[in-house]
Chain A
Amino acid sequence: MKWAVAAAVLLLAAVGGLLLLGERNGGATQAATDDAQLQWRTKPNLILVPALPRDRILTGHVRNASLRAVDLAIDRVQVLDAAGHRLKATALFAQHFSHGLYPWSMHVKGSKFERRRIGRIATIKPGQDVPLTLSWRVAADGAEPVEVRFDGGTLALPR
């Protein structure tokens, strides 16, 4: 009897772990890769910021042209120049300002629901798209970025 209960505990732990893992990884979707075939839905809009001459903002919609859903996260987005250098940049899967529930000082990462709500993560189903706002600061040498990388997949940036 004791062993049966222990086995049940182990089974529950394993199922619980899988559930947690599923939550973290977004279930049946995949991370963005070259195979994911991310595309701009239409040509994105590049905006200059007069008060910040080295800063740029770009808004557009990212389309998933693959046959599988793709998970994207802003902390895996990189904006790169032609030499492969990473620029100081932000990304948001939204086209408007918002903020989370928790003050920054609480250092709460936020649930998946929360991060999705404020555009920190997004899942793009096949054939669908999500809004994206990028911003970056051009380096002192003036090198403009040429691409944005999503954990392996890339999109060209307009010049």
Chain B
Amino acid sequence: MAQRSIELILFRQLATSLAVPVFLVDEAGDLVFLNESAERLLGIRFDDIDELPFEEWSTGFRAREVDGTLLPPDGTPLVRALQDRGPTHQQLVITGNDGVDRTIEVTAFPLEGGRGRLIGAVAMFWEPGEP
């Protein structure tokens, strides 16, 4: 596998040290990393899945609006951040791989490299009621 861009490498290293759940995708939208806090929220272990194509993760957690409306694969905040190259924020309900429904806030933003190249995007998750 070719070496990842330095921006993704650095963000992964940062995410490893953060308590806030972080979900990192490349420019194609494929999952390339999630940290331990995100593992707990999504009910999966990164070591078990390694990387996940967009088609799998974008439908795997049944992301839906708080009224129950299912989001299309390209309707999640992370994909909109990637496509629109701008920040997004939304409250969602997801079902983790452990079968547990969780209401979360998602903040997503694109990663652009020094030459203006789109590198990928980051989503950070917040559970309502967290300090």
Q: Do A and B bind each other?
A: no
A contact set with B: CB distance below 8 Å: none
